[in-house]
Amino acid sequence: MASLKLLLVLLGFLYLAIIEAQETTYLKHNCSSNKNFTANSAYHFNLQSLLSNLSSTTTDFYNATAGTTNDDTVFGLFMCRGDVPLQLCRQCVQNASERISSECRYSKEAIIWYDECLLRCSNFSFFSTVSEGPTLCLLNTVNATFVGSFNTFLAKMLTGVVAEASNYSASPKNFANKSDNISAFQTLYTLAQCTPDLSSKDCHRCLRDVMGNISMCYLGKQGGRVLYPSCNLRYELYPFYRSITDSAPAPTPSANTPLPIVLTVLLGFFCYILQKRRKKSYKAVLLENFGDESATLDSLQFNMGIIEAAANKFSQENMIGKGGFGEVYKVTKANLEYVKSK
């Protein structure tokens, strides 16, 4: 019986570890419905070669052009979130380009957002220009406590992170993250990023507009984000970005590796992850992967069932501090109530 419980716990954690190592999270796409190209045209061909060029690039930002004549030239770029490791970035761009070509089949203008990356194409050159539409707003529906002081603190933090992200001598990747303690119990995490083709001034303008949107939509909420094609801003009461040391390679057992070896390797990996995260970023693991995307809610609930069962058994066995685990689950459940507002 005890070993069954342990197995359950391990399965839960293995799942988290694996998910964290290789999964990317789709958020939304938007395709033009009035600017279409025809199948097998020169435009179609150029788009395909542009997407394959973008998905075989090994950087965290790239802009590219395909085509020679005005009518069938395609412009495109991708950008990964500043803390995403390059390997995951590339997987994200590959998935994004597959998905954009199936979802936006014949659209000349298309954009797709993932948690980890953004991919955009168009028939006009949008490089080095601020684009503020289409917009994606995601909202944490949980109300903040002590709303007045939370908002003051939030405004101060966002102003700081925006200033840092748009100061290219301080943030060459046009990316900044800042965290600070609101109280002894709460830490606010913020992130801002612009596509690197923007000038410092344009980046600042874009992020200022995003901030305006955040104050309209989200004041009083515990978390939220606004994503424009050119820049984005996010804040939460949990660490939603990775720390650089977290980029452990994904375990990729091959089909014919004997099961005991696979299990041993996975177990080792799990212990490693667990040890590394026990103190600080446990919430990050759970929330990053399960917290906020309504698109994956269905599978989440199932997975959370496993985790919850595992967590309860685990704390009964007193193998991990009850407090830490209970808290993680409570926070996660609250965050399952995220909705898309737009």
Ligand X SMILES: *[C@@H]1O[C@H](CO)[C@@H](O)[C@H](O)[C@H]1NC(C)=O
Binding site for ligand X (CB under 6 A): 22-24, 30-31, 33, 35-36, 53, 56-57, 63-65, 83, 91-92, 95, 104-108, 123-124, 127-128, 133-134, 143, 163, 167, 169-170, 177-181, 184, 197, 209, 212-213, 216-217, 220, 241-244
CA separation, residue 337 to residues 74, 106, 223 (Å)? 39, 35, 12
Kindly tell me which of 10 and 112 has the beta carbon lying closer to ligand X. Answer: 112
Kindly tell me which of 226 and 310 has the beta carbon lying closer to ligand X. Answer: 226
Residue 221 sits at φ, ψ, to 5 deg, of: -95, 155
Kindly tell me which of 117 and 307 has the beta carbon lying closer to ligand X. Answer: 117
Task: Report how far residue 12's alpha carbon sits from residue 6's, in angstroms, rounded to the nearest whole number.
Answer: 10
Task: Report how far residue 176's alpha carbon sits from residue 82's, in angstroms, rounded to the nearest whole number.
Answer: 8
Reading the block at residue 241, the tokens are: 């970005």
Reading the block at residue 110, the tokens are: 């298309």
Least CB distance from residue 260 to ligand X, whole Å?
26
Contact 338, 238 (CB under 8 A): no
Least CB distance from residue 240 to ligand X, whole Å?
10
Least CB distance from residue 5 to ligand X, whole Å?
29
Kindly tell me which of 8 and 79 has the beta carbon lying closer to ligand X. Answer: 79
Reading the block at residue 138, the tokens are: 């995601």
Least CB distance from residue 118 to ligand X, whole Å?
15
Least CB distance from residue 2 to ligand X, whole Å?
34
Least CB distance from residue 116 to ligand X, whole Å?
8
Kindly tell me which of 10 and 222 has the beta carbon lying closer to ligand X. Answer: 222
Helices H / strands E in the chain, number of each: 9, 11
Lookup result for tokens 């950087």: 59
Kindly tell me which of 107 and 289 has the beta carbon lying closer to ligand X. Answer: 107
Kindly tell me which of 215 and 264 has the beta carbon lying closer to ligand X. Answer: 215
Which stretch of DSSP H or E encloses residue 110?
A: strand 110-114
Least CB distance from residue 150 to ligand X, whole Å?
12
Kindly tell me which of 45 and 309 has the beta carbon lying closer to ligand X. Answer: 45
Least CB distance from residue 112 to ligand X, whole Å?
12
Q: Which residue intervals of 107-231 are DSSP H helices? A: 147-165, 200-218
Task: Report how far residue 27's alpha carbon sits from residue 138's, in angstroms, rounded to the nearest whole number.
Answer: 9
Residue 40: which residues within 8 A CB-CB, separation 6 or more?
none
Task: Report how far residue 193's alpha carbon sits from residue 232's, in angstroms, rounded to the nearest whole number.
Answer: 5
For residue 134, whether the previous peptide bond is cis, meaning omega lies within 30 degrees of 0, is yes
Q: Which residue intervals of 241-321 are DSSP H helices? A: 259-277, 282-290, 297-316
